[in-house]
Amino acid sequence: MDPKRRFLLKGMLASGAGGALLGSAGLAQAALGANRTGRVPTLLLSGSTEIENSFGAGVRAALPPGADFRPLRAGHVDAFAEACRSLSGNRPLRLIGMLDDASGELLIARARHAGARVSWLGLHAVDNRQTRHQIVNAPGTRTAVLALGEQLGTSAAGFALKSEQPFSEGRDLSLAGRRAGATTSDWATHLGHALAEPGRPVDSAALAARSARLEGRFVSFVIEV
C-alpha cells in the first residue's frame, strides 16, 4: 500500500473519524471546492525572518504568477499595525500569516473586533523531538488540515495533529506519528502552501529547497475581510 494512503487510514482509525475523512485520492477534488478565495489580494504577515523563509516561502510558491500578493516585511515595526489596519479597511483581502503567541492572540482579537472572517486558526509547537499542531478551522479549510496531516505523516519525526470542528457535526480529527529519524523542517512551508492555494499541486522537492527550519511556538491564521 502507498505509504501516504496507509498513514491516512491509520489516522482515520485513530481518530474514529473514518467516514468524515477523505483519503488522499479525494484531496484534489475537495480542494477544488475549497478554493473559494478567487483573486482576492493576499497579504502575508510573518512574525520573523524564519517564518518568512519557511511559511512565507510556501505561500509564495503556491500563488500563481501575477497574483495580487504583498508580503509585510518580517520584524518591521509597522507590519503588525498595517495588518491590523487592513482588517478594518474597506478593501477585500485575505490575510495569511504566522506569528508568535502574543502577537497572534492580539491579531485574532483585532480580527474579531473588525468583524473579519477567520477560516483557519492554528497553534503550532515544534522542537527537535516532535511537532504538535492544534487547529480550529471552518469547513472551507479542511483540505489544508488534510494536506498538513499528509505532509507530517510522510516527513515528520514525531507529530500530533488535532483539528477541532466546533461548528460541525463531524468528529474532530486527531492524527499522530512516532516515526524516528525524519526531518521536521518543512512543515511550515507546506502549511503556507496549503493555506494559500489548497488546490494547487504540491511540488515537494521544490518546496523542500525553499524551506528553512522553523522551531518554536506559533499561531497561524487565514483571515478574510
Partner 1 sequence: MSQQTNKVLPQGVAESDFRAALEQFRALLGAENVLVESEQLVSYTKIMMPGDVARNTPSAAVTATSVEQVQGVVRICNRYRIPVWTVSTGNNFGYGSAAPGQRGQIVLDLKKMNRILHIDAELGTALVEPGVTYQQLYDYLQEHDIPLMLSFPAPSAIASPLGNTMDRGVGYTPYGEHFLMQCGMELVLANGEIYRTGMGGVEGDNAWQVFKWGYGPTLDGMFTQANYGICTKLGFWLMPKPPVSMPIEIKFEEDTDISDIVEFIRPLRLAQVIPNAVVIAGVIWEAATCNTTRAQYTTEPGATPDSILKQIQKDKNLGAWNVYACLYGTREQVEVNLNIVRGALQQLGKGKLVTEEEAGGTQPFDYRAKLMTGVPNLQEFGLYNWRGGGGSMWFAPVSQARGSECDKQYGLAKQILNKHGLDYVGEFIVGWRDMHHVIDVLYDRTDDDERARAEACFNELLDEFEKRGYAVYRVNTQFQERVAQSYGTTKRRVEHALKRALDPNNILAPGKSGIDLNNGFEL
Which residues make up the interface to partner 1 (CB under 8 A)? Answer: 100-106, 108-113, 115-119, 121, 123-125, 127-128, 132-134, 136-140, 160, 162, 164, 166-169, 172, 216-217, 219, 224
Q: Kindly tell me which of 6 and 112 has the beta carbon lying closer to partner 1.
A: 112
Contact between 221 and 95 under an 8 Å Cβ cutoff? The reply is yes
d(CA 92, CA 21): 32
Q: Which residue has the cell 502549511?
A: 191
Q: How far is the CB of 156 from partner 1 (least distance, A)?
A: 14
- Our CA angle for 95, 55, 151, nearest 5°, is 115
Q: Kindly tell me which of 7 and 218 has the beta carbon lying closer to partner 1.
A: 218
Q: How far is the CB of 194 from partner 1 (least distance, A)?
A: 17
d(CA 36, CA 111): 20
In Å, how far are 138, 166, 216 from 99, measured between CA atoms?
20, 23, 11
Q: How far is the CB of 219 from partner 1 (least distance, A)?
A: 7
- 3-state DSSP assignment of residue 147: helix
Q: Kindly tell me which of 140 and 153 has the beta carbon lying closer to partner 1.
A: 140
Q: Kindly tell me which of 7 and 159 has the beta carbon lying closer to partner 1.
A: 159
